[in-house]
Amino acid sequence: MFKLGVVGFPGLYGGAGVELDSHITLWHGMGIDIHIVPTGDVTNEPLLAKTKELATVHNPKEYPKLKDMPVLAFCNDAFLEDIELIKEYAKKTIFINCMTWLFDAEKKAHKEGLIDLFLYQNPMVQEKNNDELLSINSKFNWKIFTSWFDDSKFPFHPDRGNDKFRFGRISREDADKYSKDTLRVFESMVAPADKSGIILGFNQKSMDKIGQPPEWIRTYPASGITQQEFYAHCSAVIQKCDTFENWPRVCMEAMASGSVLIVDDKGGWQNMIEHGVTGWLCKHDRDFIYYSSMMAYEPEMRNKMALTALEAGRELYGKKKSVDSWREVLEIPKQRKKTDSLDSC
């Protein structure tokens, strides 16, 4: 059985934690023997019981347990801090930076030749960082993998009614995620009925940046309501950000849920959305206001776009595509036996 080591632990929130949770499920389905070394106490982690059913969970920083395995981490700073020790035991070290910039510790580890393989979800991000990483160390090995998304957790909502225009935005409680013009867009867009908004992932720092939302926009901290409750409300997700996104999970969640995306024409959104077909890519405030208003006034167009995005999303993050990419990344030989679990995914 193929063995894989993982540094870090899955979580319910945050891109890297949720991404790891999804892929532990995928790898387990591929028949991989997964060994997880957390970087801290996981006694109270909400996903502990589930993770133990799919993988072997060792004690924090018990790296010798990963001997002779390829060892990877999703955007984990402790992996970079301890990589010299991990390298003593790992067959290969693999780092997945979920951001669009390089960490100082990542550059240091690469300079010392401690990262054997860099993985990217988005070819644009790889191209963006390529020259700098090559200049640090000419031995720069990288691959692109297909991220899997379990859309069974996000039910599709075909109709939310037209008595109100229901919309929202969702992100971490991080002011950098917000555009200072967020409320201007929401207030300036027009609709044939009352507007009803939700901002999920809102705190004092967010309010300091964008101001106090009007009474027709409800705000919640990151865990104030579930993501599923958020998408059940939203006919459209209007996401104007100051950040350059890598491979936003919001895109996959919204596509699966039937919430039309109105987002920035930059970063990972450009790779994931076909403008005017599966969502709207906006270059400036006027685009956000225009396309948001269009979605409010054209429910038939909005519903058709949501259905198109649902099918496009399944192609974007499909299981077979992801399994094939991980086989290639981890260099798992394809088994000839039809009964082999690696060929059943």
Per-residue pLDDT tens digits for 141-172: 999 999 999 899 899 999 899 999 999 999 98
96 close to 75: Cβ distance less than 8 angstroms: yes
pLDDT at 243 over 90: no
The strand pairing partners of 74, in sequence order, are 96
pLDDT at residue 111, rounded to an integer: 97
pLDDT at 186 over 80: yes
Mean pLDDT of 235-253: 93
The residue among 289, 283, 258, 325 whose CA lies nearest residue 120 is 325
The domains located in the chain, with CATH, are 3-148+317-332 (3.40.50.2000), 151-316 (3.40.50.2000)
pLDDT at 343 over 70: no
pLDDT at residue 317, rounded to an integer: 87
pLDDT at residue 286, rounded to an integer: 97
6 close to 35: Cβ distance less than 8 angstroms: yes
Give the percent of the chain with pLDDT over 90: 83
CA distance 139 to 158: 50
43 close to 13: Cβ distance less than 8 angstroms: no
For every residue of 150-172, DSSP letters joined together read -GGGS---S---SSEEEEEEE--
Q: Give the model confidence (pLDDT) of 91-134 as tens digits.
A: 999 999 988 889 999 999 999 999 999 999 989 899 999 999 99
CA distance 108 to 59: 26
Helix residue ranges per DSSP H, 82-222: 83-89, 104-111, 123-136, 182-188, 204-210
Q: Give the model confidence (pLDDT) of 270-281 as tens digits.
A: 999 999 999 999
pLDDT at residue 345, rounded to an integer: 47
pLDDT at residue 335, rounded to an integer: 63
309 close to 154: Cβ distance less than 8 angstroms: no
The CA-to-CA distance between both ends of the chain, in Å, stands at 16
pLDDT at residue 342, rounded to an integer: 47
Confidence band for 336, pLDDT divided at 50, 70 and 90? low
pLDDT at residue 166, rounded to an integer: 98
Q: Give the model confidence (pLDDT) of 295-314 as tens digits.
A: 999 999 999 999 999 999 99
> Which is it for the CA torsion 112, 116, 121, 126, positive or negative?
positive
pLDDT at 327 over 60: yes
6 close to 37: Cβ distance less than 8 angstroms: yes
Q: Give the model confidence (pLDDT) of 24-60 as tens digits.
A: 999 999 999 999 999 999 999 999 999 999 999 999 9
Angle CA 27–30–34, to nearest 5: 40
pLDDT at 135 over 50: yes
**Average pLDDT across the chain, whole number:** 93
Confidence (pTM):
0.87
**At 62, is the secondary structure helix, strand, or coil?**
coil
Strand order in the sheet with 56-57: 56-57, 33-37, 3-7, 70-74, 92-96, 117-120, 142-144
The packing angle between helices 249-257 and 15-29, to 10°, is: 70
pLDDT at 15 over 80: no
pLDDT at residue 32, rounded to an integer: 97
The residue among 38, 34, 31 whose CA lies nearest residue 58 is 38
